[in-house]
Amino acid sequence: MPTLSAVIITKNEAAHLAQCLQTLRWADEVVVFDSGSTDATCSIAAQYGARVEQSADWQGFGVQRQRAQAMARCDWVLMVDADERITPELQQSIQKTIQGPHCIGRMARLSWCFGGFIRHAGWYPDAIDRLYPKSAAHYNDALVHEKLQNPNGLPTQRLQGNMLHFTYDNMRHYLVKSAHYAELWAQARHSKGKTTSLAAAFVHGVGCFVRMYLLKAGFLDGRRGLLLALLSAHSTYVKYANLWLMSQPQRKTVDQLPQAKQP
């Protein structure tokens, strides 16, 4: 019988991990790969019977998922984040899928944000590929927004049920998390020689708002939809502004400062 490893990468996820693990008890094994938590993340994982591995050598989300996958011992991998939950319907669909031919399992992710589930604005269905045979697929090396690679051209199968995503705890969590992702995104682009301007950053920010709130009907999510569209526009602007800043002259060190002329 094919077996399944549920794999989670973590850092300081004590507030979310227990509820995530409760929805994964049916997996043949659960692997928690931690990148240096200073809270109770690892002890919570152990309490739920997960196999805990640690490495503080962070090289980005893509590499971290590659390392976590390498630690899985089963035939199939289900990649899950600590703030995600597997619903019973999705569980049944996953268990059925791994009994069949190799494929990439694509699931719909329904996100809870600012007090409610977001069903518009391009957030749902947020189709993501998270189920795959361990020997046939892997993640790329991206610092952030990593993608699952399918080098063998396996067919994609849409799974039934939702993966629930409790994405932001509060406004501070949103701002900190989005700023972190914006910096990683800008670093990745800058390393490839990409540049931009503040005018382009503004255009991308406005475009994000129009796309989410109007074209993708974010207004149907009410006040949450408006807030999310505004915040997303701001985050988009910050991404490109970060990239622009990286091309600007850097602060000089003391030994680089012009020396005063001797009298």
Q: Please give the Cα distance from 189 to 202 (Å, whole number).
A: 18
Q: For residues 84 and 108, is the Cβ–Cβ distance under 8 A?
A: no
Average pLDDT of the residues in 67-94:
98
Say whether pLDDT at 22 is over 90: yes
- Looking at residue 260, its pLDDT comes to 62
Q: pTM, whole model, 2 decimals?
A: 0.88
The residue ranges of every structural domain in the chain are 4-105+129-159, 171-246
State the first-to-last Cα distance of the chain, in angstroms, to the nearest integer: 86
For residue 214, what are the CA distances in angstroms to 122, 181, 207, 211, 228? Answer: 11, 25, 10, 6, 12
Task: Read off the DSSP letter of residue 40.
Answer: S
pLDDT of residue 76: 98
Q: Structurally, what CATH architecture does the domain formed by 4-105+129-159 represent? A: Alpha-Beta Complex (3.90)
pLDDT at position 251, please?
73
Look at residue 257 and tell me whether its pLDDT is greater than 70.
Answer: no
Within 8 A by CB and 6+ apart from 249, the residues are none
pLDDT surpasses 90 at 256: no
Cβ–Cβ under 8 Å, residues 238 and 182: yes
CA gap 75, 97 in Å, rounded: 12
Q: How confident is the model at residue 31 (pLDDT cuts 50, 70, 90)?
A: very high
The secondary structure of residue 114, as a DSSP letter, is T
Q: Counting beta carbons within 10 angstroms of the beta carbon of residue 63, is it exposed (0 to 12), middle (13 to 18) or buried (19 or more)?
A: middle
pLDDT surpassing 80 at residue 252:
no
> Of 83, 78, 53, nearest to 174 (Cα)?
83
Structure-model confidence comparison of residues 63 and 254, the more confident one: 63
Tokens of 116: 């409610």
Mean pLDDT of 137-143: 94
In which residue are the tokens 């049916």 written? 26
Quote the pLDDT of residue 263. Answer: 59
What DSSP character marks residue 39? S
pLDDT at 144 over 90: no
**Can you give the pLDDT at residue 205?**
98
For 160-220, the DSSP string reads EEEEEEE--SSHHHHHHHHHHHHHHHHHHHHHTT----HHHHHHHHHHHHIIIIIIT-GGG
pLDDT digits (tens, 9 = 90+) for 97-125: 999 999 999 999 999 999 999 999 999 99
Distance in angstroms (rounded) separating the CA atoms of residues 131 and 209: 32
Rounded-to-integer distance, Cα 134 and Cα 104, Å: 11
**Do residues 69 and 77 make contact, with C-beta atoms less than 8 angstroms apart?**
yes
Element (DSSP H or E) covering residue 243 = helix 222-246
Cis? peptide before 263, omega within 30° of 0: no
